[in-house]
Structure 1
């Protein structure tokens, strides 16, 4: 659920921080409770040790530099590992959050390693080693982002003393992470946060804040209001709909040219204090909105699906949207985790839906702001023959955020998965390139460029017979 510019929910909990990317078709073999699953299981990839008992679940994180417990409750862990599927042998099992979601393969262990529950203080050097091991064992994108990253980090170890100040250690970690420029890499500590530096459109907004001596968030909010107003007033000419907790805008951008804009792959349900809506509730809120819009679009000659400002969310939401545009089952993309030995890539297939849908020409609009599950939607749509990607390249941050609490209470987020299209291409770090270029966010007039670009695109798609007579 999340990337740069606030694209993922800022949630520390393992369960709610973006590891619920889902998959193809529900499988009837999945079971919530399986008594023979009691015991200790080691994941392939991800660095998890899962203990299953009649009383609930416990999780530990295992690296070459040490093992330590995860703070998540059994109830939270059930959200991620509550269903099971048999593996290729009795001592291999797949745990998943729900039928059809991402499968995590585990091997049975005789017992939890002895040091995993040892309560002790971790020195700065030990924390450095855990941090280093976490990235060495799980980070997926060194070749694309910084091939020499581990070597440069190793060169910093001599600066770490046993009693190094926490702020100084955080600064060392954050400085190391900057060269990755990965929207899914973050470091969170009490009052300190590292996230990727703004690039592209977000960098322009940051510069605008500097020039006008205003807070960056204030400028971003102003720009977002201009973006939405441009859609409602310029693109939809005051006759649009702004619904689903203000995450979806739809209407007609031109005669017989439908327009649908989805701002996030979640957030359709207002978040109650301290509670993040479940994926099931998010889908339950979104599906009727899509039903209404696509029913209204009956008879349209073309549809613009605008995710140029989509900040990510649930992969399952992305697939639910993509399935409204396919008329037959289509293999869309694959994913697999770094270090998941002998685990075949998981194939994600789009299934046609019986709900209202659109099988005519679809023009999906993207930009460098489109990130994470927003990119997964585009990746899936590109497998459909009726879809053309328009705009500029996406951000290039596909992986779920693997959330790793460090032993001192800090939390690091990193990208550990590979996403590829069905030809085997991986677009991490470079983004999905458009098939039809369009300057969506022109830096010369960032407040109005999007509406003008969409207006021009919509006018170009009006069928000749629907154009007014001169």
Structure 2
């Protein structure tokens, strides 16, 4: 999944001095939306996570953050009261207003107690998470009920269980809590979609670890069925083994992506990831062109999205979609749900300067398709030559806002709104296809997927 560092961070970061930051930036800043406060002094920046009366300071990835900050992506108004930040390759801007002083709540570090962790958890999901109504959840009622279970002597396991119960009604594909308890990593995600949930339940019934259940599905699909059954051993694998492509039936191009991003390596800079994406897409487009491809299937049905600490891989999704565009188009509109003054960002696609395919395209999705993959779906659907088929996506297109509790547990939540060109908001319910088709049948999901691809290839 893609995670968005807000005002260049989601958590709090103390970074090395940045020489070219203007002295006029010194002072205290509050982002419009995203719940982040920043303290800037002579190129040194410290970030705080803010939600109501809660404000938490925390150390973070200084090197990754400092790579994002320079004078070129900051715009300060003449009166020095407002600054806008543009993340690398992004069209979306984040706005912050100057504060006269650091808020009182940010001047005292929260204690690591069950009560303090509960207060932070409840506040983050109250003030930073905007989708309670979509899921029919009365968050204040849930908090009131859960508060009665909080005791100063309760164990980490008991506290984590309370948080799980609070999160469970929020069937959101971008909501999860990770913790380190008794030397083990623990994670809870309240919603994985029907397909993955079914696989996990089957694994639980058999006493098999969940990770093993996913591998038992994805392994045969990605490493056996796609290269051998669908592409008949004639396909190509690129992008850090996350992309497969080839030609079916002589004139149908097939492009399968397991993620959106990571095509260079984990931890790659935005420049490196963009360069890798452009090089790979140029290779694929040229191959389709020289192979006489007249129709393309973009298979995102088993795409788990993309994530990094540089603002997410939305720019990768745009770069891919622009290879299928013949003219500039508006793709979608995005904004922070809790922003009050910032303008909404209209995200546009501009046809790539490289080799493009402008013929008919089918994009295939399922309820596994999530996060940056859904941003790619929104972008492709804006093109007149693209038809969306399969099943609805998982419904978690928003960038992820990360919040760290006083005990170090990490809460991921969605707080942005993505609206398509028809004004439709798909968060929490999934992007519905133009033509619904079953992708992963329960009895034999991998075989059903291959049969569907073959069927589509013969219908172009």
Normalising by structure 1, we get a TM-score of 0.87
C-alpha distance after superposition, 1:417-448 (max 9, x if no partner): 11110221100111111112221111121131
C-alpha distance after superposition, 1:120-160 (max 9, x if no partner): 52442232222211111111211111332332222221222
Task: State how far apart, in whole Å, the 2-side matches of 1:182 and 1:173 are.
Answer: 15
1:384 maps onto 2:383 in alignment: yes
Please list every run of 5 or more consecutive structure 2 residues that lacks an aligned counterpart in the other structure: 12-18, 307-312
SS of 1:151's equivalent in the other structure is: helix
Q: Which residue of 2 aligns with 1:203?
A: 197
SS of 2:65's equivalent in the other structure is: helix
Q: Which residue of 2 aligns with 1:453?
A: 452
- Alpha carbon RMSD of aligned pairs, Å? 2.4
1:87-166 equivalence runs, <5 A: 90-98=80-88, 100-119=90-109, 121-166=111-156
The answer as to whether partners of 1:322 and 1:350 remain within 8 angstroms in 2 is yes
Q: Which residue of 2 aligns with 1:256?
A: 251
1:183-222 equivalence runs, <5 A: 183-191=173-181, 192-210=186-204, 212-222=206-216
SS of 1:428's equivalent in the other structure is: coil
The answer as to whether partners of 1:185 and 1:413 remain within 8 angstroms in 2 is yes
Q: State the 1:100 CA deviation.
A: 3.2
The answer as to whether partners of 1:67 and 1:116 remain within 8 angstroms in 2 is yes
Q: Which residue of 1 aligns with 2:336?
A: 337
Normalising by structure 2, we get a TM-score of 0.89
| Equivalences, count | 436
Match of 1:33 among 21, 33, 56: 21
1:177 maps onto 2:167 in alignment: yes
Task: State how far apart, in whole Å, the 2-side matches of 1:359 and 1:74 are.
Answer: 42
The answer as to whether partners of 1:58 and 1:77 remain within 8 angstroms in 2 is no
C-alpha distance after superposition, 1:219-275 (max 9, x if no partner): 32132122122111222121100111110000102221111111101121233xxxx
1:52-67 equivalence runs, <5 A: 52-67=40-55
The answer as to whether partners of 1:34 and 1:84 remain within 8 angstroms in 2 is no
Task: State how far apart, in whole Å, the 2-side matches of 1:442 and 1:87 are.
Answer: 56
The answer as to whether partners of 2:126 and 2:139 remain within 8 angstroms in 1 is no
Task: State how far apart, in whole Å, the 1-side matches of 2:374 and 2:20 are.
Answer: 31
Match of 1:236 among 231, 234, 250: 231
Q: State the 1:319 CA deviation.
A: 0.8
The answer as to whether partners of 1:81 and 1:96 remain within 8 angstroms in 2 is no
Classify 1:197/1:386 alpha carbon distance in 2 versus 1 (closer, same or farther; 3 Å). closer
C-alpha distance after superposition, 1:155-204 (max 9, x if no partner): 22122234433322221111110111212111122133222254311123
Classify 1:73/1:57 alpha carbon distance in 2 versus 1 (closer, same or farther; 3 Å). farther
SS of 2:383's equivalent in the other structure is: coil
1:77 maps onto 2:65 in alignment: yes
Q: State the 1:39 CA deviation.
A: 1.6
Classify 1:213/1:110 alpha carbon distance in 2 versus 1 (closer, same or farther; 3 Å). closer
Q: Which residue of 1 aligns with 2:15?
A: none
